[in-house]
Structure 1
C-alpha cells in the first residue's frame, strides 16, 4: 500500500522554540492512526503544517499517488485536494437543521451562482440520509443543530467533513466532553470512516485510543518518540518517562 501522506524531515520554530523537530510521519490511504503525547509535543502544529496553516522552515510534505508537495499549496487548495480537519470545538450552523448542515457541506461546485441557485435534488437528499445514518443522526435530520447534545454536534461536524469526501481526515480530541456511550459511538464512526480513507486522531484519552485499536504515534518535543500498537508504545520506557509517568 502506498502512502497517502508522507512528512519527512520537517522542522518549524516559533520565536526560538522548536515546535516540530525533524519530524517524519507516513500514513496509508485507508488507515486509522492515533497521535498521542504530552502538551507541547507538537500535535496541533503537525496538523497545522499538513493543512497549510503553518509553513515549516524545512522538510517535505508529500501528498497522494503523485507525491505532490502540499507546501506549495494554500489552505483552500489543500482542503480541495482532500485534507479535512475537525477542531476540538464543534462548529455547526446552529439555526439550521441537521439535514441543511449536511447539504451545505456536500462536495459541489462552489461558485456564487451555484450556491445561490442551489436546490437539493433526490441524489443529494439520499447522500445526506446515508451520511446521517453513518454518524447516528438519522432520526435527527429535521432537528435544529443547536438543540443537539455536545456529542451529537461532534458527530454532525464529522459528517459535514465526510460530506466533502476527504481522503485524509484529521480529528482533534473527539472524545473530550462526551458521555461513555457517545465516545463508543464516536469510535465506531472513526473506525468505519478509516475503511475508505486515512483518519488521524489526536487524543489524550488512553481508553479512547485503546478502543480505536490502531497504530499509535507518540510525539515528544516535536518528533516521533515511538510508534506501534498501544501496548507496544505504552511499555516503551521513554514514553513512560515523558508522558505516562506523570
Structure 2
C-alpha cells in the first residue's frame, strides 16, 4: 500500500442492467484532501456507498490501511469503527437536543446495551466536546438547540459529530450546498485544516468551491476515472470539457 489509506481497484457494480461503476480504480493518501467531481450519474454517490459498505460491488477490490484490509468483507458498522465517516448532503443532527448533547452522544464509547445504559460523560468527555466545538467553530453555540442553528452551522455540527468518532477518512457530500458566502469560506478552511491530520474526500458540484479547496481533483464519468490532477489540469482536458463542463 505504501502511503495509501484507501485503494479502489477494478471495481464495477451494475443496477438493473445499468453499470453505475465501471472498472473504477484510484487511491487516497492518509492525510490528503481530494475533490471528486462529475456530472449526475457519474458514480460519485455509488462510490461512497461502496466504501461505506452500503453497496457491494460485482467485482474489484477496496483495500484499507497499512494492513491491506478488504472493506468488502466488513459490515457498515465495522467500516465505521475502523475509521471511515460519511457526511451526507443534508445535515442529520438531533434538532431538539443542544449542540453539547449532540456531541456527547457522538463520542466514542462502548455501544453494548448495558454499557450504554450505565455510561455517563466524564470531565474528560466534556473537555473533548469543547475541543470538537472549537475545532468546527461552534464553541459559542454549545448551549443552543441544534434546530436553532443556521444550515451551515448544522453542517459543522455534523462534521464535529463525525470527528468525535476519530475517523481516518471523512467522505463529505456537497458541503457547500445552501451555505452563505461566509459559511462557505469557513467550511473551506475547516476542510483544509482537517485534511492535515486525516484523509478528506469532498464530492462537490460547485467548481468555485473546489477551486478554493486547492487540492487534487478526480473527475468521474460513467463510473470510471476520466481525469485526475489539479483543477486547472482537469478542466483543460478536452474530454472533461465535453462531458462535464459543456463548453
In structure 2, distance between residues paired with 1:168 and 1:204 = 20
In structure 1, distance between residues paired with 2:61 and 2:26 = 11
Please state whether the residue corresponding to 2:189 is helix, strand or coil: helix
In structure 2, distance between residues paired with 1:98 and 1:141 = 5
Paired residue for 2:203? 202
In structure 2, distance between residues paired with 1:50 and 1:152 = 27
Paired residue for 2:160? 159
Per-residue CA deviations over 1:138-159 (Å, capped at 9, x if unaligned) read: 0000000010011100000000
Paired residue for 1:98? 99
Please state whether the residue corresponding to 1:90 is helix, strand or coil: coil
Larger deviation: 103-112 or 25-34?
103-112
In structure 2, distance between residues paired with 1:108 and 1:134 = 20
Q: Which runs of 5+ in 2 are unaligned?
A: none
Paired residue for 1:25? 26
Give, in angstroms, the shift of residue 200 of structure 1: 0.3
Paired residue for 1:124? 125
In structure 2, distance between residues paired with 1:114 and 1:96 = 22
TM-score (norm 2): 0.98
In structure 2, distance between residues paired with 1:193 and 1:111 = 30
Give, in angstroms, the shift of residue 114 of structure 1: 2.1
TM-score (norm 1): 0.98
In structure 2, distance between residues paired with 1:41 and 1:204 = 12
Give, in angstroms, the shift of residue 245 of structure 1: 1.4
Please state whether the residue corresponding to 2:5 is helix, strand or coil: strand
Give the 5 Å matches for 1:2-81: 2-81=3-82
In structure 1, distance between residues paired with 2:112 and 2:16 = 39
Give, in angstroms, the shift of residue 113 of structure 1: 2.2
Runs of 4+ in structure 1 deviating by more than 6 angstroms, as ranges, are: none
- What number of residue pairs does the alignment pair up? 246
In structure 2, distance between residues paired with 1:66 and 1:6 = 12
- Asked if 1:230 is matched to 2:231, the reply is yes
Paired residue for 1:183? 184
Give, in angstroms, the shift of residue 120 of structure 1: 1.3
In structure 1, distance between residues paired with 2:218 and 2:179 = 23
